[in-house]
Amino acid sequence: MNISIAAEPIFHIGSFPVTNTILVTLVLSLIIIAASYILKNKISLVPRGFQNIVESVLEALLNLVDSVTQDHRQSKKFFPLVATIFIFVILTNWVEVVPGLGTIGIREELHGKEVLVPFIRSGAADLNLTLALAIVSVMAAQILGIAAIGFGKYAQKFFVSPLHKPYFVGTFVGILEIISEVAKLISFSFRLFGNIFAGEVLLTVMLFLVPYFVPLPFLFLELFVGFVQALVFAMLTLVFLKMAATEAAH
């Protein structure tokens, strides 16, 4: 059994390695796009079946966004990004419980040893994906914040004249705000990556040692952890969006 912290390449396109996490993420993205397209074309006034499930989830998410923003018009601006992040992250996390995780793949020679390169691996177990999601979240907060209150007022959160009373305090706070924006990228990406990778390792080990009924509680635990991590990521994004769209207090 070999558990690599880095995503394993399945094949190459030229010099570009296509890893198992890229493959799974692309397939998952295509499924989400196809499901959205089908739902859009077959939407009915009386929801039923799949449409009913989707509408219930989106309505619950919108109510949650409203409870944070306290402004329905603002909620409608933030909702598409927050809902997309939640749905994508939770499905990416739940790939962990798909049969074949860490057990179905191809065997390759690595450092003189034969190792198994699995076909199925959660995209969130790849730091590249979690960092990309963090960049999208933080950059969206900057863009929507500027759009909401204007570039000048938004810049006042970070750049304050040292002559503004109390002297130098505003400037120091502005520097801390810039540092916090960079820290968001690190905390966002490593929080999701760490939790999902740890869960993936746990499931792989349990399936290797006791491959029948014993891993079932851990599968349900990973479903719960995947939901919590998706909700945390989406809610933190929402909070950052709300903070960015609020004028700096003096």
User: Up-side HSE of residue 151: CA atoms within 13 Å toward CB?
Assistant: 0
pLDDT tens per residue, range 193-241: 887 777 777 776 776 776 666 667 777 878 888 888 888 889 989 988 8
pLDDT at residue number 214: 66
Give the number of residues written for the chain: 250
Give the integer Cα–Cα distance in Å for 65 and 61. 6
Domain ranges of the chain: 9-244
Residue 30: the pLDDT is 92
Q: Is 116 helix (H, G, I), strand (E, B) or coil?
A: strand
Query: What pTM does this model have?
Result: 0.82
Predicted local distance difference test score (pLDDT) of residue 167: 61
Ranges of the chain with pLDDT below 70: 1-4, 45, 100-103, 109-112, 161-168, 170, 204, 207, 210-215, 248-250
DSSP state string for 22-48: HHHHHHHHHHHHHHHHHHHHT--SS--
CB within 8 A of 80, min separation 6: which ones?
none
- Predicted confidence at residue 212, as pLDDT, reads 65
Rounded Cα distance, 58 and 62, in Å = 6
Residue 52: the pLDDT is 82
pLDDT the model gives residue 39: 81
